[in-house]
Amino acid sequence: MFTLEQLAEARSRVKNGADFPALIQTFIQLGVQRYTTWLTDGHTDYEGADQRLSSSPGHAVQPIADRLDRDHFMARLKHHQQGGSDYATFCSDTRAAGVERWVVDTRAMTCTYFDKAGNAVLVEAIPRAGE
C-alpha cells in the first residue's frame, strides 16, 4: 500500500522529463498500477491493486485550450523529455496545446495523453530507467 506522502517524496526527486522513467520505477515498487494527472488543477488520481488515492490540487484551476495543437504539444514534450523544462512549465505548455490529462499505466508501461474531448493524442511507451 502506498501513501500520498511516499508518492510526493518520489515526485520531489524529479527535476525534469529525463527523470520520468526513474519515477515510474519507484511508483511500480510502491504498487501504483495506474495514475491520471489532470492539468486543470494539477491533481492526480492513483490506483493500485486494492487502493485509490487522489492528491490535492497542485495549483489554481487553469484553462485548457479548446483546440488541440498537436505539433506544439509534440515539440514541447520532446523538449521536456530531453531535460529542457521543469514540470510546471511542461504542464503549462501542455494546457496551451489543448491536452487535458495524461494516464500512466505502469503494467503496460505506457503514457497516454488526452484532449478535452477524450481523444487520445499520443500513446507512448515509457522507457525503463537507464534506457
Three-class DSSP labels, 6-59: HHHHHHHCCCCHHHHHHHHHHHHHHCCCEEEEECCCCCEEEEECCEEEECCCCC
Query: pTM value?
Result: 0.90
- Do 51 and 31 contact (CB within 8 A), yes or no? yes
**More confidently predicted of 47 and 1:** 47
pLDDT, tens digit, 9 for 90 and up, residues 62-89: 999 999 999 999 999 999 888 888 888 9
pLDDT, tens digit, 9 for 90 and up, residues 23-65: 999 999 999 999 999 999 999 999 999 999 999 999 999 999 9
- Say yes or no to pLDDT of 124 above 70: yes
Classify domain 4-125 at the CATH topology level: YdfO-like fold (3.30.1810)
118's grid cell: 477524450
**What are the extents of the domains in the chain?**
4-125
